Amino acid sequence: MKGLKSLALLLLLIAQSAPVQAADLNGAWTIDTASCSKVFTKKNNEIAFKPDADLNAGGVIIQGNRISGTFQKCTFKSMHNDGSNVKVTAACSDGVSVSDVSYDVKFSGENNITVSSKQPTPVEMMYVRCSL
């Protein structure tokens, strides 16, 4: 569920009208830079997950308007600015079911974001962009 929530958040960020542009979010995101080489690889000049990505830190890949995790994909539904945060709702699928998820996203510089959710249990995760 944690990966599903992070996918929803990042997908919504692409469509947002905050100062960060959609192109600024393209790339691979994970919980820390030390995990980047364990989670992601480049194949034919495209970012991909390594086979055992979920056994390490996991993460998400943003390419244009697509956000994907190792087992889930999300689609933007709504987003609005709420002061220094962006509130996001997305429809996410794990291949079996689709559910709506809501997040708050806070930008902490060009390559850092904090994603938080209150439902179903309170969660706050920091993500960094990997340079591949």
Residues 63 and 85: their CA atoms lie apart, in Å, by 22
- pLDDT at 13 (0 to 100): 43
Contacts of 13 (CB under 8 A, 6+ apart): 20, 22, 25, 62, 79, 86, 88, 105, 113
- pLDDT at 85 (0 to 100): 77
- pLDDT at 64 (0 to 100): 62
Residues 28-55 have a mean pLDDT of 92
63 vs 36, which has greater pLDDT? Answer: 36
- pLDDT at 103 (0 to 100): 83
**Range scoring the smallest mean pLDDT among 4-8, 39-43, 56-60:** 4-8
Contacts of 109 (CB under 8 A, 6+ apart): none
What is the dotted CATH code of the domain comprising 2-130? Answer: 2.40.128
- Give pLDDT tens digits for 96-130: 999 888 888 788 888 998 889 887 788 899 999 99
